[in-house]
Amino acid sequence: MNQDIIKGKWAQLRGKLKEKWSKLTDDDVSQAEGHRDYLVGKLQERYGIAKEKAEVQVKEFERALR
């Protein structure tokens, strides 16, 4: 899934992001708005996981949206 698709479907994704990663704040989700790297960084920060693990989780999330 590319950045344009993510940006285009952002309103729909907000709820799904909060459902999957409940530790993300509304502000985190708003700031992430279509910026994958920001989301990965916030997952690392909120969940205390390595960048690689956060990347894998985001990729799995993207795949589930297809």
pLDDT in tens, 13-45: 888 899 999 999 999 988 888 788 999 999 999
Band of pLDDT at residue 65, cut at 50, 70 and 90: confident
Write out the residue range of the structural domain in which residue 18 sits: 3-65
**Mean predicted lDDT score pLDDT of the chain:** 88
Band of pLDDT at residue 6, cut at 50, 70 and 90: low
Is the predicted pLDDT of residue 52 greater than 80, yes or no? yes
Predicted TM-score of the model (pTM): 0.78
Q: Which of 2, 41, 1, 6 is nearest to 24 (CA)?
A: 41
- The torsion angle over the Cα atoms of residues 23, 46, 14 and 36, rounded to 10 degrees, is -160
The span from the first CA to the last CA of the chain, in angstroms, equals: 8
Q: What is the CATH number of the domain that holds 32?
A: 1.10.1470.10
**Structural domains counted in the chain:** 1
